[in-house]
Amino acid sequence: MTTPPPSEPETAAVPTCYRHPGRETYVRCQRCDRPICPDCMREASVGFQCPECVSEGNKTVRRTQTVFGGRAVTAPRATWTLLVLNVLAYVAETLSPGPVIANFQMDAGAVYHGEWWRLVTGAFLHAPLAGNTFMITHILFNMWALYVIGPELERRLGSLRFLALYLLSALGGAVAVYLFGIAAVGASGAIYGMFGALFVVSRRLGYDARGVLWLIGINAVITFMVPTISWQGHLGGLITGAVVGGILAYAPQRSRNAFQWGGCALVFAALVAVVLTMPPYIYQLQLGFPG
C-alpha cells in the first residue's frame, strides 16, 4: 500500500488593514509594521506610515518659534485682520457717521460714566469724511503704517504677542486721552505703540535704530504742530508700546512665556486701575484733584 503524498500547505491568510479589517493590503507601516490600506497611508521619508505613527511623530517635532518665543509666522494674519477691522469700521461710520461716532468714539466723560468699551472701539474708528475729503488721510496714514510695520513686528514677535502689543498700545493711548484729553478716534495710539516697540526690538537685536528714531521724531513734530491731532493718544500709545516691547524683547530665556504674558497682564491691570481710580481731566478740578 502506497503512502499518499503530503498535502500542499494551506495558503497563508491575506493581510487586511488594521483600521479597515475588510480591506486587503500588502503595504505595511514603516514604524509599527501593521498593514495599512491606501486610505491610511501617509507618505514618509521612506515608504508609508499609518496615521497613529504620524501623529506620535509630530508630538516629538519641536515647533518652530520666532526669535522672541512666539510661534513662527509665515503669513501675518493678525496684521491683515486688524487692517480689515479698521476698514470695515470706517465703512460703517461713513454710512452712518452720527450713531457710530456718538456711541463708540473714545470719550473721557462717557468712559467715566461706565461706557468702558470706548477705550477699545475708539481705536478702530477714524475721522469721518463729513464733506472734507482731507480727513481720509487719517485712516490712510494709519493703515499704511500698519501695512508696513505690522508684518515685520508680527514675524519677530509671533501673532499673539503682536496682537497683545497692538491692543495694549491702543488701550494705553485711550487711557492717556481719558486722563488728559476729552475725545478722540483713530488707531494712532496703536500705531505709535508699534513705533515704540520697533525701536526697542531693533535695539535688542543689535540693529541700527536711528531710522526708527527719525520716524518717531518726525511724527512727534507733526503731532504737536497740528492742533486737531490728539497728542495724548499718540504719547500714551508710544510709551505703552515701548514698555510692552521691552517686556517681550528682554524676557529671560528660562521663563520667557511666564515673564512675557505676566508682564502684559500687569500692563493691562495698571491701565485698568488708572481708569478705575482716576477721574478724567475734565472732572478733576470739580472733584478737588490738583490741577
* pLDDT tens, position by position, 144-158: 999 999 999 999 999
> CA 205 → CA 64, 74, 198, 201, distances in Å?
19, 20, 10, 6
Lookup result for grid cell 494709519: 142
Residue 234 has pLDDT above 60, yes or no: yes
Domain ranges of the chain: 15-48, 77-284
- In this prediction, residue 1 carries a pLDDT of 47
**Which pLDDT belongs to residue 110?**
93
Amino acid at 156: R
More confident of the two residues 25 and 163:
163
**What is the residue-averaged pLDDT of the chain?**
86
133: pLDDT strictly greater than 70: no
Closest to 40 measured CA to CA, from 32, 49, 55, 31 = 49
The pLDDT tens digits of the residues spanning 42-77 come to: 887 777 888 888 887 766 555 577 888 888 888 999
- CATH homologous superfamily of 77-284 equals Rhomboid-like (1.20.1540.10)
The C-alpha cell at 274 is 488708572
The whole-model pTM stands at 0.76
Nearest to 143 by CA among 220, 91, 67: 91
CA dist., res. 271 & res. 124, Å (int): 19
Question: The C-alpha cell of 128 is what?
Answer: 469721518
